[in-house]
Amino acid sequence: MQEFVLRQKVQICVKSSVRGPVVSDKSKPSSETPKFDPAKFDPVESWIDLTRQFGRAQAAFADFMERKKTGDTFQIPDPEVVKDSFSSAWSSLLGNPERLAKAQSDFFACQTQLWQMAVKRLAGEQVAPVAEPVKGDKRFQDQDWTDQAVFDVIKQAYLVNASWLQRTLSGAEGLSIEDKHKVDFYTRVMVDALAPTNFLMTNPKALKASLETGGRSLLDGLKNFVTDMERGQGQLSISMTDYDAFELGRNVATTPGKVIYQNEMMQLIQFAPSTPTVQSVPLLIVPPWINKFYILDLRASNSYVKWCVDQGLTVFVISWVNPGPELAHKRFDDYMLQGPLAALDAIEKATGMNKIGIVGYCIGGTLTACTLSYLTSKRDKRIVAATYLVTLTDFRKAGDIRVFIDERQLDLLDQHMEERGYLEGRHMANVFNLMRDNDLIWSFVVNNYLMGKEPMPFDLLYWSTDSTRMPAMMHGFYLRQMYLENKLIEKGGITLDGVKIDLRKIKIPTYMLSTREDHIAPWDATYAGTQLYGGPVKFVLAGSGHIAGVVNPPSANKYQYWLNPDLPPTPEQWLEGAVSHPGSWWTDWREWLRPHLGDEVPARQPGEGELAAIEDAPGSYVKVR
């Protein structure tokens, strides 16, 4: 009834104020100047829709405020830590008058150049740009950023001032290495947030869309914004893909198999063979528990798991539980004992083999290294070969993630996790998104809210937003003992289940893969592992980043990888002598692995051994949100 009354009032207002279409229906909008087509615009429906969205937004905000009453103010990054880092930088600059004067002089010089360029450019002259986007910057790809004088000036002004601010704050003296890293990181985040592409009135593409649709794109953008607020229960949770387009077991995580073992920490999946014979030694994959295993089994065309199966391997993968408060007490030790160690026992029962190859990915690789040291101390020789994918063991150069890890922030994190028993997945997702904010935050702000478009279906982004929780005790141990104190590289620096861990005791053949553009496990940090392990090591560097560089099937014919049989002390020396090879590292790894996995035997079907099948892959644990 209220909507009917509102509709009548809007119709009266529209009839009394609108005197006809702005442009004839027969007119064609030019490519240079977008024209408004009134046939696409219903002012009554638009006004009704607008009031609906404000009502939804008000409800989402009320939900957020209600949750705030519970005292849940924890967030990463902590605003006080960010503020204090910038305060230190400004204090350093103010305490050095000579450097401050130089910064001011540089600023005025930059503004003079900008002014001279702007006057000429706006007058119609073609002048050399004062600043240009770096190669690969996708924000300014629209041709209007170059062709339209106003937008060209806005673009260059942003680039010049952003560069000056980053240069000035980076030059602050007297800061600790940690504070300098924080200042550089958060300055870059702030500069990215202030880009003109992120605002309607300074984004030519968004302005054109709003004119062409009669404002419909903005209304659709508001709808998308409110929907994301509702999904985040009052906090903005930016949609990165069409979540309804994917279903586990239907179009992602589709490789056939069975769950043949489970405990409170994980399910063990054995995948069905696709070849009549397989190599006798099975392969266990230990994925990270910060995300779910199916990054290695997205679609048939890019599934590492399926490719391994098609290569004649008996493949097992651990599917970690998504823990709740009932598992808050679980330690790093428990992930080892109830993860790979339990999996080894289960695989031996399922196949009758006491020789197994192992692959560890990211933190799963870190756990694998700890497990191998543990097994060595126990004189357990079941693992015959180990593969580490983008795995950190020496955390000294762990990259931008160290910005979030210091005593003060870990204390806040411990307090938060003590109250809940775990760290919510959204906090880890926020950290990773900030590390690549233009790609993982602002591009979606522009697409979803300014352009009013729905995000495209993308399996990788569906997986990346399917985040998991971290048990309090395990996560606190991992961040302090490894990231903060770097104890894993020490002999006996950490103890798991009563055993002092020493990676130098690992003597089995090792294949180490890193990726050149990795922002989570930087390759010059992962390379340090080559100097730790006691056995033969092959180090391979692949193109691209932490995910795309790993999930790179040979059929895609993308990127490249570098090989160097020598392992000099530094990554720079290794790269100097490395030779580039086109395509995927998968084929190189397969040839390295082949002699370690034994002779061919008849293919094994899941559930035919001592362990009966529990349910179909991908199992139930992976579906828990």
Under DSSP, is residue 481 helix (H, G, I), strand (E, B) or coil?
helix
- Map residue 228 onto helix, strand or coil: helix
- Secondary structure, 3-state, 382-446: CEEEEEEECCCCCCCCCHHHHHHCCHHHHHHHHHHHHHHCEECHHHHHHHHHHHCHHHHHHHHHH
Q: Are 279 and 597 in contact (CB under 8 A)?
A: yes
Note whether 281 and 597 are within 8 A (CB): yes
Distances (CA, A) of 148 to 131, 153, 201, 203, 579: 16, 9, 14, 12, 45
Cα-flanking dihedrals φ and ψ of residue 358, to 5°? -140, 145
Clarify whether 308 is annotated catalytic: no
Q: What per-residue string of b and e applies to 267-288 under the rule 16 or more CB within 10 Å gives b? A: bbbbbbbeeeebbbbbbbbbbb
CB-based contacts of 208, cutoff 8 Å, min separation 6: 34, 144
Cα–Cα distances in Å, from 478 out to 4, 37, 153, 330, 481? 59, 58, 48, 12, 6
- Of the residues 13, 110, 308, 362, which is catalytic? 362
- Largest pairwise CA distance in the chain: 89
Q: What's the DSSP call for residue 454?
A: P
Are 205 and 142 spatial neighbours (Cβ–Cβ below 8 Å)?
A: yes
Look-up of token digits 């977008």: 34
| Residues in the chain, total | 625
Here the tokens at position 512 are 């180490």
Structure tokens at 243: 């979540």
How far is the C-alpha of 409 from the C-alpha of 57, rounded, in Å? 32
Estimate to the nearest angstrom the gap between the alpha carbon of 363 and the chain centroid: 14
Beta-carbon count within 10 A of 18 CB: 11
Q: What whole-number distance in Å separates Cα of residue 374 and Cα of residue 502?
A: 8
CA 264 from chain centre, in angstroms, equals 27
Query: 261 and 343 in contact (C-beta within 8 Å)?
Result: yes
Question: CA 619, CA 268: separation in Å to the nearest integer?
Answer: 9
CB 551 within 8 A of CB 513: no
Buried-state track 417-437, b at ≥16 Cβ within 10 A, e below 16? beeebbbbbbbbbbbbbbbee
How buried is 379 (Cβ within 10 angstroms: 0-12 exposed, 13-18 middle, 19+ buried)?
Answer: exposed
Q: For residues 93 and 183, is the Cβ–Cβ distance under 8 A? A: no
Task: Report helix, strand or coil for 156.
Answer: helix
What are the tokens at 582? 């086109």
Residues designated as active site? 362
